[in-house]
Amino acid sequence: MPIRMKYFFLLLVSGTGMLISTSCQARPKSTDTLNIPFGARGRIIYHLQQGTYSVLQNEIATVHNAYALCQSRQQDYDSRNPGTHTYTQTTASTPAGKATVYTITHQSNNGQLQQLFYIYPHQNYFITQVRVKSEQTGCNKISPMVAAVVDLPGKGNHPYALQVPFDNDMWARYHAQELGNSSFTSSEVTALYNNDTYAGIVLGSLEQDVWKSGIGFSTGNETKPPSMILYAGLADSIITHDRCEHGAVLPQNGYCTSPKMMVGFFDDWRNGMETYARLHLKYEPRIVFSWNQATPMGWNSWGAIQDKISYNKAAAVTRFFVDSCQAFRNADNSLFIDLDSFWDNMVEGGLDGNTNKLQQFVAYCKKNGFKPGIYWGPFTDWGKYDRAIEGSSFQYQQTWTQQNGKFVDTDGGRAMDPTHPGTRDRVRYTLSHLVKLGFQMIKIDFLSHGAIEGDYFYDPTVTTGMQAYRKGMELVDSVLDGKMLVYAAISPNIATARYVHMRRIACDAFSAIDNTEYTLNSTGYGWWQNQLYNYIDADHVVFGTAPDNMNRARLASSLVTGTLTTGDDFSSKGKWTSMALQLLQNKALLTIAKNGKSFRPVDANTGNKGVNVFTQEINGQRYIAVFNYTDKEQEYHIPLQRAGVLSKTPQQATELFSNSPIPLNNNSLQVTIPASDAVIYRLNKL
Domain-embedded: residue 12 = no
- CA dist., res. 611 & res. 607, Å (int): 9
Tell me whether strands 227-232 and 184-187 are parallel, antiparallel or unpaired. unpaired
**Residue-number span of the structural domain to which 159 is assigned:** 33-283
Tell me whether strands 189-194 and 255-257 are parallel, antiparallel or unpaired. unpaired
- CA dist., res. 499 & res. 378, Å (int): 13
Report which of 347, 344, 470 is spatially closest to residue 418, judged by C-alpha positions: 470
Domain-embedded: residue 247 = yes
pLDDT in tens, 454-496: 999 999 999 999 999 999 999 999 999 999 999 999 999 999 9
Sheet arrangement for strand 371-376? 535-537, 502-504, 485-488, 441-444, 371-376, 336-338, 297-300, 564-566
- CA dist., res. 310 & res. 237, Å (int): 38
Report which of 227, 251, 238 is spatially closest to residue 172, judged by C-alpha positions: 238
Contact 493, 168 (CB under 8 A): yes
* H or E segment to which residue 334 belongs: none
Domain-embedded: residue 1 = no
Asked if residue 444 and residue 311 are part of one domain, the reply reads: yes
Confidence at residue 12, expressed as pLDDT on a 0 to 100 scale: 29
Asked if residue 203 and residue 128 are part of one domain, the reply reads: yes
| Phi, psi at 456, each rounded to 5° | -165, 165
Give CA separation, 599 vs 71, 86, 164, 338, 553, in Å. 41, 47, 18, 25, 15
Query: Which are the contacts of 448, defined by CB distance < 8 A and separation ≥ 6?
Result: 166, 167, 169, 241, 410, 490, 491, 492
Q: What is the CATH number of the domain that holds 663?
A: 2.60.40.1180
Asked if residue 221 and residue 316 are part of one domain, the reply reads: no
pLDDT in tens, 2-57: 333 333 333 223 333 333 333 334 445 556 899 999 999 999 999 999 999 999 99
Contact 552, 511 (CB under 8 A): no
- CA dist., res. 575 & res. 470, Å (int): 44
Render 435-501 in DSSP notation, one character per residue: HHHT--EEEE--GGGGG---S--SSTT--SHHHHHHHHHHHHHHHHTT-SEEEESS-BTTTTTTT-S
Domain-embedded: residue 22 = no
Report which of 167, 67, 174 is spatially closest to residue 518, judged by C-alpha positions: 174
Confidence at residue 2, expressed as pLDDT on a 0 to 100 scale: 37
| Phi, psi at 485, each rounded to 5° | -65, 130
> Which of 132-146 are b and which e, b meaning 16 or more Cβ less than 10 Å from the residue's Cβ?
bebeeebbbbbbbbb
Give CA separation, 245 vs 130, 141, 238, 452, 544, in Å. 20, 9, 13, 11, 44
Asked if residue 610 and residue 593 are part of one domain, the reply reads: no
Confidence at residue 637, expressed as pLDDT on a 0 to 100 scale: 95
Asked if residue 606 and residue 493 are part of one domain, the reply reads: no
Asked if residue 262 and residue 401 are part of one domain, the reply reads: no
Amino acid identity, residue 350? G
R_g over Cα of the chain: 26
Asked if residue 268 and residue 327 are part of one domain, the reply reads: no
CA angle 149, 153, 155 (to 5 degrees): 105
Report which of 494, 485, 496, 523 is spatially closest to residue 507, judged by C-alpha positions: 523
- CA dist., res. 596 & res. 534, Å (int): 8
Domain-embedded: residue 557 = yes
- CA dist., res. 216 & res. 210, Å (int): 19
Asked if residue 99 and residue 59 are part of one domain, the reply reads: yes
Domain-embedded: residue 548 = yes
Q: What is the CATH number of the domain that holds 364?
A: 3.20.20.70
Helix (H, G, I), strand (E, B), or coil: what is residue 427?
Answer: helix
| Phi, psi at 86, each rounded to 5° | -135, 170
Render 617-677 in DSSP notation, one character per residue: EETTEEEEEEEE-SSS-EEEEEETTTTT--SSPPSEEEETTTTEEEE-BTTEEEEEE-TTE
- CA dist., res. 259 & res. 230, Å (int): 11
Confidence at residue 392, expressed as pLDDT on a 0 to 100 scale: 98
Asked if residue 243 and residue 106 are part of one domain, the reply reads: yes
Gap between the terminal Cα atoms of the chain: 62
Low-confidence ranges of the chain (pLDDT < 50): 1-27
Domain-embedded: residue 28 = no
Decide which of 227, 248, 283 is a domain's last residue. Answer: 283
- CA dist., res. 234 & res. 89, Å (int): 31
Decide which of 235, 261, 283 is a domain's last residue. Answer: 283
Asked if residue 261 and residue 250 are part of one domain, the reply reads: yes
Report which of 600, 603, 499 is spatially closest to residue 271, judged by C-alpha positions: 600
Q: How many CB atoms lie within 10 A of CB 261?
A: 26
Query: Which are the contacts of 146, defined by CB distance < 8 A and separation ≥ 6?
Result: 8, 10, 66, 67, 68, 69, 228, 229, 230, 231
Q: How many domains does the chain have?
A: 3
Helix (H, G, I), strand (E, B), or coil: what is residue 78?
Answer: strand
Helix (H, G, I), strand (E, B), or coil: what is residue 524?
Answer: helix
Q: How many CB atoms lie within 10 A of CB 43?
A: 16
Domain-embedded: residue 51 = yes
Confidence at residue 222, expressed as pLDDT on a 0 to 100 scale: 62
- CA dist., res. 101 & res. 577, Å (int): 61
Asked if residue 437 and residue 341 are part of one domain, the reply reads: yes
Confidence at residue 224, expressed as pLDDT on a 0 to 100 scale: 66
DSSP E strands, 83-199: 83-94, 97-108, 111-119, 125-133, 139-147, 149-150, 159-163, 175-178, 184-187, 189-194
| Spacing of C-alpha 309 from chain mean position | 30
Helix (H, G, I), strand (E, B), or coil: what is residue 383?
Answer: coil
Decide which of 234, 260, 283 is a domain's last residue. Answer: 283
Contact 362, 439 (CB under 8 A): yes
Asked if residue 637 and residue 569 are part of one domain, the reply reads: no
